[in-house]
Amino acid sequence: LDAILAHPDFASGDVSTGFLAEQADVLTAPGEDVSTLLMAAAALSDQRLVTDVMQIPEMHRKMGGWRN
């Protein structure tokens, strides 16, 4: 996250939805798996998902993952 925020293109707002994938080699340590980073970014950028999650009653959100 620090690397993303410090990136000059990100700071200037000159980015697209492909920014993380395009800059993965600059934003990660050598050999670091970026799939988790990309999945987190995708989930956080999906406003519908965030809205749906916020509709879950607080007591259930605090429990974490759903259980059977």
Cα–Cα dist 40/51, whole Å: 16
**2-59 residue pLDDT tens:** 888 888 998 898 888 889 889 988 887 776 677 877 777 777 777 777 788 778 888 7
Contact call for residues 9 and 15 (beta carbons, < 8 A):
yes
pLDDT in tens, 51-68: 887 788 887 777 766 555
Instruction: Report pLDDT for 44.
Output: 75
User: For residue 49, what pLDDT is reported?
Assistant: 75
DSSP single-letter state for residue 56 = S
What letter represents residue 35's amino acid? Answer: S
Amino acid making up residue 22: E
- Token output for 22: 């395009």
Region of residue 15 (left: phi > 0; alpha: psi -120 to 50; beta: else): beta
Q: Supply the pTM of this predicted model.
A: 0.42
